[in-house]
Every structure is written in C-alpha cells, then in structure tokens.
Chains A and B, each alone.
Chain A
Amino acid sequence: MIILAIDTSNQPLSVALLKDENLLATVTLNNQQKDHSTLLFPVINQLLVQAELKPDQLDRIVIAQGPGSYTGLRIGGTAAKMLAFTLKKELVSVSSLAVLAAPMTSIDSQTVIVPLFDARRQNVFAGVYSYSKGQLVNLVADQHLALTKLVEILAVYSKIIFVGGAAHKFGDFLQKNLPQKDLSWTTGILDYPQAYQLGLLGRKKQPLENIHAYVPAYLRLTQAETQWLAKHQEKLNEPLVEKF
C-alpha cells in the first residue's frame, strides 16, 4: 500500500511517502517565512517525483486532523480530502498530538506521554498517551484547555514526558505546578512532527467511510459561535448552509 501522509497542523510542514511500513521519501520544513499554501503541493510533487510515482498510484492519504493552527489544518485538510476524493483513494485522519507522541516507542508503560501545542494566552492543546504492548494508547482525549487545568489532570500521573516545542516554552510552569513528579522533556527531532510517524499510525486505522464529512479537529468553536450560543439556547431551524 502506497501512503501519502501530510501534517500541516503547526508551523512545521511534514510530508511522507510510505510503502506499507517502509519510508520511501519524506520532507519536513520549518520555514517561518513561507506558508503551507505555497509549500505543500510543491513538496508533495517533489516526493512523488523522487519516488517515481504518479498521484493515481497512491492508495491512501493520511492527514493530521488537528488540533493546531486553524489555517494550517484547513490547507492540509483540504488538500488531503480533495486528493482522496478526486483520485478515489482512502482517507484516514489521525490526531496531530498522537503524531508527536508516536515516536516514543521505547518508553516504559508507567510513563505517560503528553504532547502539547501552544494555544496562546496560557492555553494549550494537549492529550495524554502511553505505550502498551507496542500500541500507542490515548488515555485523556485531545482537548483545548488552560495550562492550570492541564496540571490538574496530570496530577494523577507520577512519570510524565512532555513532547513538542511548546512543552519547552511552558517548562518552568509545569515544573513548578507538578513539583513531586518525575518529569522529562523530549529534545531535538522529537520536538517536530514527522509525517512518517503519521503514515505509520494511519496505516493501521480504518479509512473514513464518508470523505465528504471530513473536517479538521479544531477542538474549539470560533469566538463568534461561542458568543452566539451563549445568547441563543434554541436551535436554528434552518440549515446553516444551503445548496443551489
């Protein structure tokens, strides 16, 4: 099975081509000046050319579904959804936080893995994972939450490893608020999402039944919707989107 894996959830852009569990080609870019919109398709094209493959030889597209930057999620999500739909291929979506947690295969089963992204104003997107019998297990669902809430959740675990660039940023806070714990942080390449890991996770999942229904996992309503819902308990009778 030929797999194209795409992660544009945050600043880094990572794309990989896999043949089953083997890596054919991969690129991870972290260019602050350029955006995913200009980079994504040239990178996909480059990888396919290097692997001597044509788009219709892909069997499955795996997309990092979020959480992350809304714009990034939409660029990758639209690309993956449209490629899968137009080429009639399988689409699989995987948590962007799971992608960060995935390489920690050698961690002992007592340690929980906490990948996190900065969601600004002392908020994060985070989830709690562990490895059990070689399988990545999600213990606490990915969510958008205040850092203070995150440390409350983490209080029940004794050994924690934090993953991702944002984990370093909040290092002091975490250390101070989880004083009795055995905490550690990943470094180097492990701080960046690797689409190869995404491809491996996506390889084992069931493809989506309805490609049309795919939307990124933003894990947060827009501010306008939150405010509107606060004022309107009743449901809107009309469909939000109408087609002509």
Chain B
Amino acid sequence: MKKEKRDLILAFESSCDETSVAVIENGKRILANVVATQINSQKRFGGVVPEVASRHHIEQITICLADAMQRAQITYDDLSAVAVTYGPGLVGALLVGVTAAKAVAFAHHLPLIPVNHMAGHIYAARFAGEIKFPALALLVSGGHTELVYLPKVNCYQIIGETRDDAAGEAYDKVGRVMGIPYPAGKQIDELAHQGKDTFNFPRAMLNEENFDFSFSGLKSAFINTVHHAEQLHQELDQADLAASFQQSVIEVLIGKTAKALKKYFVKQLILAGGVAANTGLRTAFTQTMQQFPQVDFLQAPLNLCGDNAAMIGAAGYVAWKGGQRADLNLNAVPSLEFDWIK
C-alpha cells in the first residue's frame, strides 16, 4: 500500500506575547504546537509592553523550536517549508520570529513562506474541518475585528472592520474598570453567564448599511455608567454589567455577520480569533446559524483561538501550495492588512 505523501511545514509565530513553533502535516494535522505565553510577565503592566514582549521572544524561540522538533519526532530533512507570521503585530516581536524562520530556512535550504497572522487565525478552523469556498470569516481578537470574504483558497478580502477598538480591546478596557486583571475576556465571559442584560448599552452601527464595527461608544457608555454609579455611591451588579456589555458585543457581531451572509453567497462561515473562544459568542452564533441552514458553520477549536504557530502552519501550507515564497529580505510588516473587497 502506498503511503500518503507527507508535507511538513515548520511554523513560527511571535506577533504579540506568545512565542510559538509548530510542525503541521499536510496542512491539517498537528504534530507539535509549542506555545510559550508571557501572560504572567505582561499582566504586571496591565497589557503587553512591546519591548518586554520582544525580549521574552528571543529567550524562548530556540527552546520552542527544540521542543517542537522533538515532539514531532522529525529532522530538518523531513520538512517541506518554513512558514512565519510577518504581520500584523508588534514590530519588535514579529522580527524575532521572522529572523528565526529565515535562519532555519537558510540553514537547511528550505523555502520561506510569509503568512498574514489573520490568515493564520482563519486557518485555525482548518483543524476543525475542511474550509469550503467561497467562505466568510468573522475574526475577533484583541487587536482585530473584521469580516473577511474568501472567494477561493489563498484569497482574503475585507468587507468590514472595526473603526476604533477591537472587540478584545474593549473587553480588556472594560475589565480594567471592573478591576479584572488583564486579559479580562475569560472572566467577563464567566461573569456574564451569571447576569442579565439590564443596562441596555448601545449597539453601535448595527443599522448602518456597511459591515464595519465600532466598540468605543459601548466602552464609553460602560465607563460612564460605572462612574455615575460611583458618584451616587450606588452598588452595580457586576454580573449584570458583564452580561450587558457582552450582550451588546455579541449582538453587533452577529447582526453584522448575518447581514453579510445575506449579501454574499457563501458555503461556510468561519468564526476565529482570540475572542472566538468566548462561550457566549459561540453559543449565540450556533443559534443564529440555524437561520442559515445552507451555510456550514466552522469554529476554530477552543485551544487554537489564541495565537499559536499551528494556525500559521495551516495557512502557510495553502500559501506554499499556491506558490507563495518570501526572499531572505523578508521584513516584518506591523500594519499588514488584507485588501478590501473591490
């Protein structure tokens, strides 16, 4: 019996505060996915300090590679290519991964594949199932909130994005007001399940024609509510606050996505990004998708919603198959973005 040909991609991710190295087989199977997270370090500062993040990346990068190679039980000769996140992200952090990936590609004569971090987030869903084109992806993370149309493989077109804060950013800012340590998303999600939407915060831009988002108005309304109560020495129910905030975020995300699903004929909706791990959001989306029985619903696996190199390896695999290559002069592009749909 002939064995299926094995294409192995070694992937690097270092765009924010996670250093990660993965080995991916045929774009869909994880042989290793080592993630070193700096949360304990960065929570000292209530957020990610770029220089601190960059310093941790260089401490961790070879250790992560050693672990990944060992867990995957492979040698460099087994590899087909090296994929790396080159943007968007913190420039100093990105540069560690880009330089490390170049070193490995150069040393072992392997092709270097540049990967957009957001394409990576979308391809985290590849580990839950096959991606069917055309597809629509809702990407929600600490740095990004965007709706992306995927007409075919390796083609990503923005149809809408946040005009101010990303959803995850709003969670962290609201968390700070509530005294919840960074990163606040998980704890607000848990609190929200114990409360009710009683404050009726605004649902920004929900009735506008475009597919853009805005979360700064919600954040301000939230902060005003809390400060006003403090002045009156009123005690607000924390769970209700969390539930009201989360409900507004979810309704806006779902409203805009549903609108996009009505305009664009797609076979699949993909939910991905760090905030896609939010259980409130996942539950609400699963319910909403019953209104779109013809659209397949694919969610990034919970453990791959945050930043990791496995997703970069999956996106890198299709980019590699599509013939994308980077030269040794590849640079980090901190503000890298998909093109807008024409």
Contact = CB atoms under 8 A, between A and B. Distances in A.
| B contacts with A: majority SS | helix
Contact of A41 (B45, B61, B95, B102): B102
B39 A78 contact: no
Interface in B95-134: 95-96, 98-100, 102-104, 106-108
Contacts of B66: 85, 212
Contacts of B328: 41-42, 45
A171 B48 CA distance: 39
B36 interface: yes
Contact of B107 (A37, A55, A77, A212): A55
B56 interface: yes
Contacts of B100: 78, 82
Interface in B36-61: 36-41, 44-45, 49, 51-52, 54-56, 58-61
Given A238-B40, A240-B41, A242-B39, A82 B103 contact: yes
B103 A222 contact: no
A5 to B, nearest CB: 15
Contacts of A203: none
Interface stretch (A68-76, A104-112, A156-164, A176-184): A68-76
A243 B38 CA distance: 9
B170 interface: no
Contacts, number: 135
Contacts of B106: 41, 44-45, 55, 83
Is the contact region of chain A dominated by helix, strand, or loop, or is it mixed?
helix
Interface residues of B, number: 47
A236 interface: yes
A243 B62 contact: no
B5 to A, nearest CB: 25
Contact of A215 (B49, B59, B65): B59
B298 interface: no
Interface string A220-234: 001111001000100
Interface of B: 19, 34-41, 44-45, 49, 51-52, 54-56, 58-67, 76, 91-92, 95-96, 98-100, 102-104, 106-108, 327-332
